[in-house]
Structure 1
Amino acid sequence: MRLRAFAPEDLPSLYDVCVRTADAGGDARQLYPDQDLMPTIFLAPYVALDPSLAFVVDDGSRAVGYIIGTADTGEFVRRCRQEWLPTVAGRYPAPAAIDTPSDEMLALLHTPERMIVPELAAYPAHLHIDLLPAYQRKGLGRELMTAFLAALAGRGAPAVHLGMVTANVAARAFYDRLGFHVIDVPDAGVLTYLGRSTDS
């Protein structure tokens, strides 16, 4: 088991990790007929736009977990709108109505500006972290987070935030152990926002 920088050949494995953990930490393959939809929103733009902030856990044969993110959410949103969305909008057009879970996700894809939340301004970086269930509770998440926070600090980002589904109590316990605290964001819906400094 080793932690290393992301490599382009990791992408199929990371897509698999993403969709298998996308339902509040559980397997989302049954929710979304297109298995690439969730990774297209929550994984691929990060490794395309800022691969130097992507780290993976490798079990010797494939990547089984990752951490991704950005040091500057505002700049990331701008680049998503201008650079990423045009590359995927043909396959994933904006939904005419919100009738299915896939429609809900497509609406998120087409509104990257949703990531700009005034209450998070003091936490300009943000992240996503996912590990396959068999590799959780082994200290690997902490190793990923340590590497990511150090990289953010090296980029001059003072603090980082994340949005997690409130129902994912196991993830919340993990973040609490790593020093994250709740950021009060009114009308956050199903999400809880957490943040911490990038200091080790």
Structure 2
Amino acid sequence: MDAKPQPAPGFSLRSYHPEDLGAVYRICLETGDTGEDATHLYRDPELLGHLYAGPYVTLEPELAFVLEDAAGVCGYVLGARDSSAFYARLEAEWFPPLRARYPEPEGDPDTWTRDEHLITHLYTAPPQDEALFGRYPSHLHIDLLKRAQGRGNGRALMAALFAALRAQGSPGVHLGTSPQNVRAERFYRKLGFRELKREPPYTLVMGRGL
């Protein structure tokens, strides 16, 4: 990977600002169906953001970077330095107000809506994988809208996060992606990620040293 990859012409990369929150939530939703727009899948457009974007920009904003062009923010990368500590903060700080807002679904899961299936994640403690966290303690989420893809912007975002994680002393980072998202897997492999484990049918876990 180049020492300092730059965004494509017409795009700029910067640290996250609090006023970017709405755009970050929107991008999370518009890439939430294995990279495709998930707007039509959920009644509540904020649910995906509450799980996969909001806690990162709120709890570790120094590890959040956004990409923008003339039309506005069109991509982001979000990180957590210490996954165990981050998940503990989710349980203590992030989930309680959301649980008050979204009651835990009851009854037969086969009758639940997509929203209700997502809501259950607010009541489920993230897995603690000490073997994984020992070597790759940090983790990340990256999403770009279609207009920003395929132009080196993702590489530039990842480079910014890697530099920030190295500055905080992290030895490695991991991520989860859908095994069906072949394009994403190819992108991660080009950046030096390797497969660590598969958790069928939903998640491929990959990691790389820093």
> What's the TM-score, normalizing by structure 1?
0.93
Q: Deviations over 1:87-145 (max 9, x none)?
A: 2222222222432222221112222423x224422211000000001110010000000
User: Residue 66 of structure 2 corresponds to which residue in structure 1?
Assistant: 56
Q: Deviations over 1:24-52 (max 9, x none)?
A: 11111111110000001000001110000
Indicate if the aligned counterparts of 2:174 and 2:206 stay in contact, CA closer than 8 A: yes
User: Residue 117 of structure 1 corresponds to which residue in structure 2?
Assistant: 129
Give the match's secondary structure for 2:33.
coil
Q: 1:26 aligns with which of 36, 39, 42?
A: 36
- AA of the residue aligned to 1:4: R
Structure-1 separation of matches of 2:120 and 2:131: 22
Q: 1:149 aligns with which of 158, 162, 169?
A: 162
- AA of the residue aligned to 2:17: A
- AA of the residue aligned to 1:80: L
Q: Does 2:178 match 1:165? A: yes
Structure-1 separation of matches of 2:165 and 2:83: 12
The alignment covers a number of residue pairs equal to 196
Indicate if the aligned counterparts of 1:119 and 1:184 stay in contact, CA closer than 8 A: no
User: Residue 47 of structure 1 corresponds to which residue in structure 2?
Assistant: 57
Q: Gaps spanning 5+ residues in structure 2: where?
A: 1-10
Q: CA RMSD in A?
A: 1.3
Q: Percent identity, please.
A: 40
Structure-2 separation of matches of 1:134 and 1:60: 12
User: Residue 9 of structure 1 corresponds to which residue in structure 2?
Assistant: 19
Indicate if the aligned counterparts of 1:54 and 1:68 stay in contact, CA closer than 8 A: yes
User: Residue 195 of structure 1 corresponds to which residue in structure 2?
Assistant: 207
Indicate if the aligned counterparts of 2:137 and 2:174 stay in contact, CA closer than 8 A: yes
Shift of 1:3: 0.3
Q: Does 2:193 match 1:180? A: yes
Shift of 1:7: 0.3
Give the match's secondary structure for 1:23.
coil
Indicate if the aligned counterparts of 2:30 and 2:38 stay in contact, CA closer than 8 A: yes
- AA of the residue aligned to 2:64: A
User: Residue 82 of structure 1 corresponds to which residue in structure 2?
Assistant: 92
Q: Gaps spanning 5+ residues in structure 1: where?
A: none
> What's the TM-score, normalizing by structure 2?
0.89
Indicate if the aligned counterparts of 1:24 and 1:168 stay in contact, CA closer than 8 A: yes
Q: Deviations over 1:123-171 (max 9, x none)?
A: 1100000000111001000000000001001111100000001101111
Structure-1 separation of matches of 2:31 and 2:93: 26
- AA of the residue aligned to 1:117: D
